[in-house]
Amino acid sequence: MPPPQPCDAAADPSTAPDSKISTTASIQYWNTISPDVNGMLGGFPQISRIDLRGSLNFITKLRRLSSNCQVRNAPKLLRAVDCGAGIGRVTEGFLTHICDVVDVVEPVVKFAQVLEDGALKQEGKIGDVYVTGLQDWTPTKTYDLIWNQWCVGHLTDTQLVAYFKRCGAALSEGGWLVVKENLSTHRFGEDIFDHVDSSVTRSDQKFRDLFREAGLQIVKAELQTGFPKGLGLYPVKMYALRPK
């Protein structure tokens, strides 16, 4: 569920939307997409700056809320991971500004390659690059921040709950799991399957149910504001989570 998307995609109510997800189809789709910000944002590159600013504001508020000295007062967090990172738009535009080192998880080789070959990797600001899907990834380190943006729609509900549990177990004391995703605007509150990239767009209620199932609590949640009207984009929400 990539980027900002027009919310008029046709929904097929016959089966659970997430049962139609095909990893093969989604990887095939992403391989046809150009490795640039326009590709990452589904043809809406102009929203990148607003998106990154919204994320920074959200983290700033989270850090103020925190009683943990390391995450509240340190100039930077120690280690974050950008999950479903694409070419590293979020890593470059936001995460490396607030973290010493950012690991990256991205299943599409040509996107991961952009990160491997880039200056941030040379400078040591990008750490490990894991070329795999989130459904197959188990964190092997402790992270202050696990960032998931516009990618968890490629996992089924079952895969996502298992993945969230693994993330919860990999957070440092005071760390956050953040999920920043489009929300379904289906009039009966259903998730919406997107045939183009083989992903689902979930409702706010579905996200809350999956978080609860994974043993996570919402520390803070906020809608992204400031995207231009008239593009027909889905609403975008940020959730900061921690194990209960």
Side-chain half-sphere of 168: how many Cα atoms within 13 Å?
Answer: 20
- Shortest reach from residue 37's CB to ligand SAH, in Å: 7
The single residue listed with the structure tokens 């809320």 is 65
90 interacts with ligand SAH by CB under 6 A:
yes
CB 106 within 8 A of CB 136: no
Examine residue 54 and tell whether it contacts ligand SAH (CB under 6 A). Answer: no
> For ligand SAH, which is the closer residue by CB, 195 or 244?
195
Among 4, 107, 139, 175, binds ligand SAH (CB under 6 A): 107
In three state form, how does the secondary structure of 156-201 look?
A: CHHHHHHHHHHHHHCEEEEEEEEEEEECCCCCCCCCEEECCCCEEE
3-state secondary structure of 68: coil
Report the distance separating Cα 71 and Cα 150, nearest Å.
Answer: 25
Candidate residues 54, 84, 139, 168; the one interacting with ligand SAH per rule CB under 6 A: 84
4 lines the binding site for ligand SAH (CB under 6 A): no
The residue from 4, 17, 54, 86 that contacts ligand SAH (CB under 6 A) is 86
Query: Which C-beta is closer to ligand SAH: that of 66 or that of 99?
Result: 99
Piece in contact with ligand SAH (CB under 6 A), picked from 10-18, 133-141, 168-176, 211-219: 133-141
Site string for ligand SAH, 195-224 (x = CB under 6 A): ------------------------------
State how far the Cα of 108 lies from the Cα of 110, in Å rounded to an integer.
Answer: 6
Stretch of residues binding ligand SAH (CB under 6 A), selected from 62-70, 103-111, 119-127, 166-174: 103-111
Q: Which region among 53-61, 100-108, 164-172, 222-230 touches ligand SAH (by CB under 6 A)?
A: 100-108
Whole-number minimum distance, CB 155 to ligand SAH, in Å? 6
User: Which 3 state secondary structure label does DSSP give 6?
Assistant: strand
Residue 88: other Cβ atoms inside 10 A: 25
- Select the residue interacting with ligand SAH from 5, 17, 26, 156 (CB under 6 A): 26
Q: Does 143 bind ligand SAH (CB under 6 A)?
A: no
Residues shown for the chain: 244
Conformation bin of residue 107: beta by default, left when phi > 0, alpha when psi is -120 to 50: alpha
∠ CA 146-183-7, rounded to 5°: 135
Positions touching ligand SAH (CB under 6 A) are: 2-3, 23, 26, 30, 40, 84-86, 89-90, 106-108, 111, 133-135, 149-151, 154-155
